[in-house]
Amino acid sequence: MSSSNSQQLAIGLLIVIVGMLTMVTLVTSAAQHNYADALSKSILFFEGQRSGRLPPTQRMTWRKNSALRDGLDVKRDLTGGYYDAGDNVKFNFPMAFTTTMLSWSVIEFGKSMGSELPHALEAIRWGTDYFLKSTSVRGSVVGVVGDPNGDHICWQRPEDMNTPRTSYIVTTQKPGSEVSAEIAAALAASSMVFSASDKAYSMLLLTRARVFEFADKYRGSYNDSIGSGACPFYCDFNGYKDELIWGAAWLYKATRKPSQAFAYNGGDVTEFGWDAKHAGINILVSQWVMTNPVESNPFIPKADALVCSILPESPAPKSVTYSRGGLLFKIGSNRLVEFTKRQVDYILGSNPNSMSYMVGYGSRFPQKIHHRGSVIPSIDQHPKHMQCHEGDMYFKAQTPNPNLLIGAIVGGPDQDDTFQDSRCNVAQSEPTTYINAPFVGVLAYFNSLFP
């Protein structure tokens, strides 16, 4: 897993920006990129991250069943869900954020997804089925499955894992407001996704989103409650207040009933990602404040400040910098759409390296991504079980990964636009679910503009 890469941030910002702009008509040059192809691949990627028993419809066939005993240590069925990145741990905090962002992508742009929409719904359901299991015992929420330290020592296919699959659970005595509230956000957002196509499932998700009350009533960070399950991997650096507000905002969006009143000043909006939600909160709330004006609100000014502070010509103090090739680095109008398109096109190959940072898209893309399943030959080629270190030789090999994790967007280039296609360079070469999830919505949007 990589918690500090740049594309995660850039792409996270893209969807919140594009989310504001669906009404804008655009006059630009013809598309250089095949957004339909990229969209389809960005969703396919999630099949490569699946944990549990795979369905007969599985398209990424080099992956097989894995982690079928998850939850056994606590006498529960906790199979399913997603591995977060290039390892085999199920981190529910970023997994829930991924599911919220996939849901937001469908809520905003599902109508532009065409034949990909069913696949997007499947990707969301793979997360929500698991979150229903993670929240099935009242007064508790599963935070992580799989001992991250044990997992990270080994370079092993998920199908072969024999590292400890410890279940880390937050409770009323040992709470975890960030992970519980983010799961509530994912359940509320996904309930909106399924409201037309599967009413019963949608109701089930919305009912379970009441886990928000647990998150809010028993306040504390999972940092302290589950220790090495969370830190230093997905430590809640930013605190849990943003997730509480984010969860409440999604519940409000799904039910139109205020679940909780918070005094809120809009927070720090320079970032948006699996840990920092303030930017997303301001955009989300601005959408309904614009149609239901209230006398004073911090949301629209904060949302504007976010959007303006990232533009290169912005007079405001910039919260981000740009590489020489033009990639938005760390940190409404045609200009914003153009700006977003430039970011998307960069990632798809319009950059100084003429390289796509999405695996399997275009003619040049990363060949040695940091991902256990992609690096080690699949069960089809190498059926024999491999122990903890038996995969090391494949990690060290100079040859490309044998299994294409199609659609995976990697961490990406450095600030000088250079990219090292190396399994050792985790920040650049590792894909994560929460990079891809918001990108799905952005690609659907550009696919509708340039069909």
Ligand X SMILES: *[C@@H]1O[C@H](CO)[C@@H](O)[C@H](O)[C@H]1NC(C)=O
Q: How far is the CB of 241 from ligand X (least distance, A)?
A: 9
Asked whether 386 and 151 are in contact (CB, 8 A), the reply is no
Integer angstrom CA distances of residue 104 from 115, 127, 157, 207, 317: 18, 14, 31, 19, 29
Integer angstrom CA distances of residue 249 from 80, 158, 202, 285: 27, 36, 18, 7
For residue 321, the cross-strand partners are 329
237 touches ligand X (CB under 6 A): yes
Nearer to ligand X, 89 or 283 (CB): 89
User: Using CB atoms within 10 A of its CB, is residue 429 exposed (0-12), middle (13-18) or buried (19+)?
Assistant: buried
Q: How far is the CB of 233 from ligand X (least distance, A)?
A: 11
Taking the alpha carbons at both ends of the chain, their separation in whole angstroms is 34
Amino acid, res. 450? F
CA dihedral 408, 125, 437, 141 (to 10 degrees): -110
Nearer to ligand X, 35 or 246 (CB): 246
How many residues sit close enough to ligand X to count as binding (CB under 6 A)? 8
Query: By rule CB under 6 A, what string of x and - marks binding of each residue 344-383 to ligand X?
Result: ----------------------------------------
H or E element at residue 26:
none
d(CA 307, CA 430): 27
235 touches ligand X (CB under 6 A): yes
Asked whether 282 and 264 are in contact (CB, 8 A), the reply is no
Nearer to ligand X, 240 or 365 (CB): 240
Annotated catalytic, 371?
no
Output Rg (C-alpha) for the chain, integer angstroms: 21
Using the contact rule CB under 6 A, the part of the chain among 23-31, 66-74, 158-166, 233-241 near ligand X is: 233-241
Q: How far is the CB of 178 from ligand X (least distance, A)?
A: 7
221 touches ligand X (CB under 6 A): yes
Binders of ligand X in range 239-258 (CB under 6 A): 239-240
**Residue 169: what are its φ and ψ, rounded to 5°?**
-125, 135
Nearer to ligand X, 177 or 356 (CB): 177
From 33, 119, 278, 370, the catalytic residue? 370
The angle formed by the CA atoms of residues 134, 208 and 65, to the nearest 5 degrees, is 35
Nearer to ligand X, 237 or 322 (CB): 237
Nearer to ligand X, 228 or 297 (CB): 228
Using the contact rule CB under 6 A, the part of the chain among 89-97, 134-142, 237-245, 273-281 near ligand X is: 237-245
236 touches ligand X (CB under 6 A): yes
Using the contact rule CB under 6 A, the part of the chain among 73-81, 228-236, 426-434, 441-449 near ligand X is: 228-236
Can you say how many angstroms the Cα of residue 323 is from the centroid of all Cα atoms in its chain? Answer: 24
> Of 231, 308, 388, 426, which one interacts with ligand X (CB under 6 A)?
231
298 touches ligand X (CB under 6 A): no
- Give catalytic residues, as residue numbers: 370
Residues that bind ligand X (CB under 6 A): 221, 223, 231, 235-237, 239-240
